[in-house]
Structure 1
């Protein structure tokens, strides 16, 4: 039998959930991976069941995780179907064989780009030059391979002996990271592509003068004062602080900022330069121009980009070809037909149109030969990852819409609009139409919450509950409801009937639409929950017999909130005599002995209610005779001689009970 390691939730999240999320969601994985089981035939059934339960519990704990919330929601939703195959030993063995074959096929596709690069290097150098190893890590990363996975491939070949440097800009990496994060958030909030630099935010190029910077910064501050006090205003204010400190002091400050931008652009270009020079040991003119155009879109000027590419090539110990010479007049210019569609595909991907990007990549693939295949495959991989993520988000969005979780739906759909606006939903749904519907529902819920908070206090809980029924998880309604206390029952009483069962009664909570949790205290002082009900009584057939009636406690619950408990041994616990609400009590309760010795109890009443009839026994306890919707009942268990017992009749409707009316002795 194969032994399973103890389950570690943190390791599972970092190792399994991260990989599944990166690959595009649960449909791109297999059940063995999702439940962290090896795809072998000799797994122990009990160990598998325990592992499935551990993983299921881990998913439940991760449902609010900011990164994995959508993924875990899908996993929880599909748990029953996915786990069934693993919990059945015969189906599990068949699935293991299938998964092993699928993984081999998937791995061969993942390693295809890396293996091709390694094969060409070995053919050329009869081994792998040490200075090419870092470039192979970058090639592997394009296919989603870790360094350890690349090392496993490199271990099959001889590494030939051979060494690289950088200059840290004045603006540190943490400051650059803050600015980049704010620019990205500005793009998300406005629905436009994020500005690559602070200069681009101001509408200026890298050659802007100090006067132009100050003028545009002043205009932006005036615009910022007109924004509503929401997140966009806060982001703009923070960005303008960085503009003030990094750009406005003068042209020298602008140059220092551009040097910092160049450091980040260098990190972006370095793996691409490595991939471009990996085989030819040179940066050819066409590749240099392509890299230069990519860097220009990141906010740098042509002079800095050219110097940066030259420095990266020097770092890798390779030469750089100059711009391609102009063709001789009689010869037609060389046209690389794959470049334009590939460039357009990148632009479509940045603009949040991956479906269009996929179509353009298909056009580029038709024309890409030996020189463009690597770049086309890299962009195709990026497009496929975005489309897989969009499919996962669409499933989560539709689940949120069907469950009327409009806040969650707006968040997911807004992300889809930014990254995959041209990808339709499962039933051809348009992200804009569905987002409009979700926002309208959310606005209705916002107005309903405002109306509830402005209305009578007595009706507030009911109104907020109605909002949550139409907009599950609405943050405003949930928060407001948490502030409203749930009223506990005014009293609780308990008495045995003739069978020895205990009937527990309590006053209805004045909070509407509550359920009640009933607990019994044992002889050892510990409490046992007997159950939950939306009525105001419960029969305890499991109460200990032949001893004093146990102590009971009742708690009212509503929308995840609970009242304090009311106990049957409290000073205020009495038999119900008067309640200001609930169904009308019966009138004129009469008890007469019949010729056969039984007692017939009758009363006057009205409405669709259920009547409970109890009899007072000689030892002072109450015995339940029965429940009926008629206006009379016959007590065959009454003593056949002696005085007629006292009877109590009460009415119940809608989860509430009237006062009990007694017959004359």
Structure 2
């Protein structure tokens, strides 16, 4: 642990904590500048805590940090006790480590999502996208060095050659839409826009126009689901890229050829590695693959010739097969290897692994490399299938049917013969996921078409039964959250501030309560389902600070309502949810000889009771909260016994308030 430097500590710790929002956003290890992973021992920790405590005392009047330091000093006893004790410190270190990982995951979520999409699409991060990722990181408050450190986890690849007339980004967009069309229809994805229309590369202009017209007619009959959206977007690309005529089709196929060349290049490299030539068997297999990816025969041969020329490998010309008696031996691995490739393309990697095992047993030096290349490809597919199965089973257990459906459909296309964990049946789970998603789709459609007042509750019910449903989330995002009508804040006799507000008309909301600091920034006081909160950490002053309350539902927030901008009613509301515990009964208040007032009541066992006292000016003061059935109010004003109210709280629900009878 390095020597404590107050100036460095102020810039490195206090400035960060202040920017983040205050002590509640930090942890004792950060605030006392202690290492999290390497425990320096009790003596060193005690010395560092003393150094930091002294630095706080010297900064009590600092113009920038005085409010933050005052909060740190107020909580010093509790925070320091946790790190000064060796046993508690080790327990706290484990908790803080998990909290920091969660906090970092939240900070990096936007950047990681962007990187994941790029890696999934390009098998790496394109060099021309790096600067854009820095901009994405900046939106989440990440510095350039933080983004750079995150990017070191991934391979940076070139942007790739541009196809004439069609930008790489548009080719990727079309490819993504075709893949999604395959997933939504539970069928192999069309290789090209022509394949979507049911046409081959040699189709005439009239056939293309007729196919496009037929698809537009079918699209108009589709329900307003994601499939309809994907088909409409694909038909826009059809109209612009292949319908204008034969020249447009040729340009589009030339653009497809660029992507096919990128797909075949590593396969050609593996095929020519040993013999420095592309043998006839491999040439025919790769030609079939290029045709399956949507190319005509001429372009497929040209692509293979160009890739082989890049690698300096001649192509062996195929001829008539030799008579069986004279057939050269030593290439018995070719037949099972070809069958393994076909099984892999057909979504049967388990069968492909068995066949490539047969090829490996008979492969000599000439067949080792192509057999190993196919074996590696099968291993990659099986590894991904294992991950997909784990994710699918977890999603099914959590009732995230939309997520489960995506993984299960991918397994059905690429790994239909891979068994699930614990004997999970793919067809059964797939049918159940489709049924759940279809039911959720129908519920969303009904909710969107229903009364606006009931829309949020109906959509929340969909998300409760099908968490993560994209349609429900999108529809819910369009429903506004109503704010509280007013917010009121007043100090009690002990200096605490009671904040109360009118409930939001929107159902099933939580409330985020914030306090304005002297420097104009806002500090979150708490998040509650009740309509009041007692702020015991408010800085001392004559008047109550300004508070703001937002209604929050499913990640959406209403406008903030401030206590200095609204006119509340003359009496505070009783924060009592409709489904609360029974209200206390027989509330009595009597003056003791000492001048205090003893308040007693009857109420449900195990409840937490809140006792409030009416002040002469009409305001209310919270006397305290207790699980007993009596409380002594030492701050009661002189004169007649004031009025008191008692309410009970159990599991987040609060009863109505019962007034004292004297």
1:186 deviates by 4.5
- Name the CA distance, whole Å, in 2 between partners of 1:279 and 1:192: 37
Asked whether 1:564 is paired with 2:610, we answer no
The residue aligned with 2:73 is: none
- Name the CA distance, whole Å, in 2 between partners of 1:312 and 1:591: 93
Contact 1:186–1:236 under 8 Å retained in 2: no
The residue aligned with 1:244 is: 243
- Name the CA distance, whole Å, in 1 between partners of 2:386 and 2:315: 42
Q: TM-score, normalised by structure 2?
A: 0.61
The residue aligned with 2:542 is: 548
1:377 deviates by 1.0
- Name the CA distance, whole Å, in 2 between partners of 1:573 and 1:200: 68
Q: TM-score, normalised by structure 1?
A: 0.61
Q: Secondary structure at the match of 1:244?
A: coil
Task: Flag the 1:325–1:45 CA change in 2: closer, same or farther, 3 A.
Answer: same
RMSD of aligned C-alpha atoms?
5.4
Contact 2:212–2:238 under 8 Å retained in 1: yes
- Name the CA distance, whole Å, in 2 between partners of 1:535 and 1:399: 34
1:408 to 380, 400, 403: 403
2:116 to 57, 65, 68: 68
Give unpaired runs (5+ residues) of structure 2.
2-35, 40-93, 121-153
Contact 1:71–1:392 under 8 Å retained in 2: no
- Name the CA distance, whole Å, in 1 between partners of 2:233 and 2:519: 60
Matches within 5 A, 1:321-340: 321-324=316-319, 326-327=321-322, 331=326, 334=329, 336-340=331-335
The residue aligned with 1:423 is: 418
Asked whether 1:492 is paired with 2:491, we answer no
1:376 deviates by 0.9
1:628 deviates by 7.6
- Name the CA distance, whole Å, in 2 between partners of 1:59 and 1:627: 37
- Which of the pair has more CA radius of gyration? 1
Matches within 5 A, 1:128-277: 184-196=179-191, 226-228=221-223, 230-234=228-232, 237-238=235-236, 240-241=238-239, 242-247=241-246, 276-277=271-272
2:336 to 309, 317, 341: 341
Task: Flag the 1:406–1:178 CA change in 2: closer, same or farther, 3 A.
Answer: closer
Task: Flag the 1:282–1:541 CA change in 2: closer, same or farther, 3 A.
Answer: closer
Q: Deviations over 1:530-559 (max 9, x none)?
A: 3333334444444455x5242352514332
Q: Secondary structure at the match of 1:548?
A: coil
Contact 2:648–2:655 under 8 Å retained in 1: yes
- Name the CA distance, whole Å, in 1 between partners of 2:265 and 2:645: 87
1:487 deviates by 3.2
Contact 1:611–1:649 under 8 Å retained in 2: no
1:406 deviates by 3.0
Indicate the larger mover: 324-333 or 528-537.
324-333
1:382 deviates by 1.4
Q: Deviations over 1:545-579 (max 9, x none)?
A: 5x524235251433232452241785436432789
Matches within 5 A, 1:500-519: 500-519=495-514
Q: Deviations over 1:454-510 (max 9, x none)?
A: 66655544444333333333334334444232331544242423x454444444444
1:182 deviates by 5.7
Task: Flag the 1:580–1:394 CA change in 2: closer, same or farther, 3 A.
Answer: closer
The residue aligned with 2:59 is: none
- Name the CA distance, whole Å, in 2 between partners of 1:419 and 1:652: 58
Task: Flag the 1:569–1:607 CA change in 2: closer, same or farther, 3 A.
Answer: farther
Matches within 5 A, 1:520-535: 520-521=515-516, 527-535=522-530
- Name the CA distance, whole Å, in 1 between partners of 2:200 and 2:313: 31
The residue aligned with 1:114 is: none
Contact 2:480–2:558 under 8 Å retained in 1: no
Task: Flag the 1:52–1:551 CA change in 2: closer, same or farther, 3 A.
Answer: closer
1:373 deviates by 1.4
Contact 1:646–1:663 under 8 Å retained in 2: no
The residue aligned with 2:433 is: 438
The residue aligned with 2:56 is: none
- Name the CA distance, whole Å, in 2 between partners of 1:444 and 1:387: 32
1:360 to 346, 355, 361: 355
The alignment of Structure 1 onto Structure 2 pairs a total of residues equal to 526
- Name the CA distance, whole Å, in 1 between partners of 2:618 and 2:325: 120
- Name the CA distance, whole Å, in 1 between partners of 2:201 and 2:221: 28
- Name the CA distance, whole Å, in 2 between partners of 1:614 and 1:257: 76
Contact 2:276–2:313 under 8 Å retained in 1: yes
Indicate the larger mover: 482-491 or 53-62.
53-62
Q: Secondary structure at the match of 1:575?
A: coil
Contact 1:188–1:194 under 8 Å retained in 2: yes
Q: Secondary structure at the match of 1:516?
A: strand
Contact 1:292–1:305 under 8 Å retained in 2: yes
- Name the CA distance, whole Å, in 1 between partners of 2:490 and 2:163: 78
The residue aligned with 1:31 is: none
- Name the CA distance, whole Å, in 2 between partners of 1:452 and 1:659: 37
Q: Secondary structure at the match of 1:531?
A: strand
Give unpaired runs (5+ residues) of structure 1.
2-42, 73-143, 149-167
Task: Flag the 1:284–1:462 CA change in 2: closer, same or farther, 3 A.
Answer: closer
Task: Flag the 1:662–1:408 CA change in 2: closer, same or farther, 3 A.
Answer: same
Q: Secondary structure at the match of 2:430?
A: helix
Task: Flag the 1:331–1:53 CA change in 2: closer, same or farther, 3 A.
Answer: same
Matches within 5 A, 1:628-643: 637=634, 643=639
Matches within 5 A, 1:600-619: 612-615=610-613
Contact 2:280–2:315 under 8 Å retained in 1: yes
Indicate the larger mover: 458-467 or 555-564.
458-467
Q: Deviations over 1:238-267 (max 9, x none)?
A: 4643443354x8xxx878877776666566
